[in-house]
Chain A
Amino acid sequence: MKRASLSLKRQRSIAVCAAVFLIPVLILMTAYILYPIIATFRNSFTQWNGISSARKMIGLYNWNKLIHDKKFWTAFLNNVKVMFLSLIVQMPIGILLATFLDAGGKKFNVFKVIWFLPLLMSSVAVGYLFHYALATNGGLFSSISNLFGGKNIDLLGNQRVALYAVIGVICWQFIPFYMVYYMAGYSSIDETLYEAAIVDGATRGQYIRKIALPLLVPTIRNAIVLSITGSLKYFDLVYVMTGGGPGESTELMATYMYKESFSKYNMGYGSAVAAGMFILITVIAAVVMRLMNRKGGEI
């Protein structure tokens, strides 16, 4: 009896302690995440220019407009393109680089540092950097082409290639992130597994294919979810490099939302776009996680 009440007491004090420690985080989460989301949804039912104190409730008007808004769905399609190409390009290269660094150990520290650099720069800086590097006049590619007697190469001003040029830059920036992510995954694999495999006569290649990669699957899964949500909410680099143009060729949901809210003074509709994004991203992420978990089972 006495023991039971003691453990109960202990549980209770742990609960109180946990609550106390969680309060600051909860307050921050409420103020900066939960409240803004609710406010965004509330604003999405209003007509508001973002300036005036008058907000008119207009019910589902903005949502109806959003569903029929061709530009929004074009932007969504662009986001989906970014998502797939990011997965296809970033994941394999990330794993490849991580495998390379993992196999090389300390000898390759120099590569580790160099490859990690893009991630250390702010997106805005990267955006400006490539804005100039890809410029038609005097940009990197144009200059190289001119050197060999070719014409200027227009990457960001051409509707057909602008999006892919931007995706290339996004990959350049985020491959190091996944590289580090997978390196962490590798380092969490027990060293004795490697030793056992070698003792059993496996080659390095066999070890990676048959043992390390399967053990890396949970990491890959998380990385995929991160990459998907990241691509769907992408904003800064695109905004700096192309501003969504030319035309709507590189417009993403987030840049579209920004333009509606802050350039066109349609804060109400901009909020509806933001809320629509929120729903789309949550649904897609949930479906993807459900699918992956069903396939692989819980690990």
Chain B
Amino acid sequence: MKKILTLILSAAMAVSMLGACGKQPAAAGGEAGGADAASAKATEVSSDDKTISLWDIATDEPDKTIWTWSVDKYNKEDSKTSGYTVKQVATVNDQYKQKLSVAMSAGKCPDVYLNWTGGPLKEYVKSGYAQDITDLVDKYGLRDKYNEAALEQTMIDGKIYALPIKNQSVAVFFYDKKMWKDKGYEVPKTLDDLEALCDKMVADGITPFALANSSQWTGSMYYCYLVARYGGPQIITDAYDQKGSLVNDATKFAGEKIEDWVKKGYFPESVNSLSPDDGEDRALLYKGAGMMLHGSWQVASIKQENPEFYKNLGAFAFPTLPDSKADQTTVLGTLGDNFLSFNCTGKKLEEAVKMAAYYASDEWMKLDVENGNLPPLKNAKSEEPAWQDIMEMINNASGVQLWWDQYLPASVAEVHKSASQKLFDNSESPEDVAKEQQDALDEYFSENGGDASTQS
């Protein structure tokens, strides 16, 4: 008897956690067992016909001001005539993605929601939670307002599924102008220049690259840029369109370069344990590291965190590879940063787009620029000194390559991140890293049949 009891009890112990894990998929299915977060959240947004629910991540300033502005303007000026009101719900960034997927799986997707395009947007479109707004964009003359490359990013098969909103984020090298001048360093134009400069820095006892790679996507920027410089942006787009493999010379070149750089001591010691979330990369830069490859949103962070350092902040584009036939002006980034997609139809959709169009108005643009951003609009300009270099880079760029971890489907993106991280402690060969990513892509296509129509 006791034996049986023990068995039952320990079995119960063993399953209790699985129970907890299993619960989430069940809850996400929106089925019985219902008093969970999903349905609680769902009632919170279950909007009646005249309420447009908007989900974003603007929980902190300055985002709060930036995002609320258009909502307030619509509710004040248009509500009376249209009869619709917008209800904004902000969620902390880290929890947002999960909250959104739980809501979608429960069939309670908000009418308007923030996303980052790329792979996930494709999933949303596939699942029927993002509407084609091409006609409305043309109707309200929005096509001319947005930066072309930014709008390009919202398109799937030539149709527009989202509007770019917040910032032009591109990956650039940041450096301390004063320190470089004192030491006689010059901005490198080619990869050879860069390596010569880094050797000099190592000899001077300076760590060339301020990188914190525990989040993986930070180091992945080096990889993506090197691949793009060697083989052009089509390396990744071809792989995604099943026209090419990631196991090629470009990824081999990128992997070997990083391996080599790690061996030569270009990166800080134990780079994979440093956390960009704690700002350890910026800390390295402040303490005298050579340069930092990072998204341009760092301008706002540095301005706020270290005004003294900010005065001498400079930026330059990732150096080029003159021998390569590939386009050398490509920049890695996202023109928009945050995007809005729409999950409603008819008159409601039109009103929602009207509201979102306020994020393209001149008044709003001024507000966004004041807060350290550069909106993805054609006539946007920022007076911030650090932005001058970056704007020039964007204007000269022939194209913008979306960060791989945003561009690829989520399952492949995760593999890309963890595989590329292994280059930074030399624990996997460049060939294996490339192969691991290609295998993930192959698996994705074999499971999803390559196109959207086989789904659902």
Q: Which residues of A contact B (CB under 8 A)?
A: 31-33, 35-37, 39-40, 43, 47, 49-54, 56, 135-137, 151-152, 154-159, 222, 225-226, 229-230, 232-233, 235, 245-248, 254, 257-267, 270-271, 274, 277-278, 281-282, 285-286, 289, 293, 298
Interface centre among A39, A51, A155, A235 (most CB of B within 10 A): A51
Interface residues of B in 116-131 (CB under 8 A from A): 120, 123-124, 126-129
The 3 closest A-B pairs by CB, nearest first: A157-B273, A154-B270, A52-B127
- Of B3, B22, B24, B411, which contacts A293 at CB under 8 A? B3
The answer to whether B455 touches A54 (Cβ under 8 A) is yes
Check: B203 CB closer than 8 A to any chain A CB.
Answer: no
Known A-B contacts A51-B124, A136-B270, A245-B216; the reply to A40 vs B25 at CB < 8 A is yes
Partner-binding segment picked from B8-16, B66-74, B139-147, B190-198:
B8-16
Residues from chain A with Cβ under 8 Å of B15 in the complex: 33, 37, 278, 282
Please list 25 pairs of residues, one from A and one from B, whose beta carbons are closer than 8 Å in the complex, sorted by A's number.
A33-B19, A36-B19, A36-B23, A36-B26, A40-B21, A52-B126, A52-B128, A53-B107, A53-B127, A137-B274, A151-B269, A155-B273, A159-B425, A233-B18, A246-B214, A246-B422, A247-B425, A257-B21, A259-B414, A263-B414, A264-B411, A264-B413, A271-B22, A285-B14, A298-B2
- Of A37, A154, A262, A286, which contacts B22 at CB under 8 A? A37
Min CB distance, B93 to chain A, in Å? 15
Known A-B contacts A158-B273, A281-B14; the reply to A51 vs B127 at CB < 8 A is yes
The answer to whether B7 touches A51 (Cβ under 8 A) is no
Q: Taking CB as reference atom, which chain B residue is nearest A37?
A: B22
Known A-B contacts A53-B107, A157-B273; the reply to A35 vs B410 at CB < 8 A is no
| Category for how many chain B residues contact A | 35 or more
Check: B456 CB closer than 8 A to any chain A CB.
Answer: yes
A233 to B124 Cα, complex, angstroms? 32
Known A-B contacts A229-B13, A264-B411; the reply to A157 vs B214 at CB < 8 A is yes
Interface residues of B in 237-284 (CB under 8 A from A): 269-275, 280, 283
Residues from chain A with Cβ under 8 Å of B18 in the complex: 36-37, 40, 233, 274, 277-278, 281
Check: B298 CB closer than 8 A to any chain A CB.
Answer: no
A64 to B261 Cα, complex, angstroms? 40
- Of B24, B126, B410, which contacts A263 at CB under 8 A? B410
Check: B447 CB closer than 8 A to any chain A CB.
Answer: yes
Q: Taking CB as reference atom, which chain B residue is nearest A135?
A: B273
Check: B114 CB closer than 8 A to any chain A CB.
Answer: no
Known A-B contacts A158-B425, A226-B10; the reply to A265 vs B123 at CB < 8 A is yes
Residues from chain B with Cβ under 8 Å of A285 in the complex: 10-11, 14
Known A-B contacts A52-B456, A137-B280, A229-B10; the reply to A32 vs B19 at CB < 8 A is yes
A245 to B273 Cα, complex, angstroms? 9
A65 to B113 Cα, complex, angstroms? 34
The answer to whether B13 touches A226 (Cβ under 8 A) is yes
Given contacts A50-B101, A53-B107, A274-B18, 14 further A-B contacts (CB under 8 A): A32-B19, A36-B21, A39-B26, A43-B25, A43-B26, A51-B124, A154-B269, A158-B425, A247-B421, A260-B411, A265-B410, A271-B22, A271-B25, A285-B10
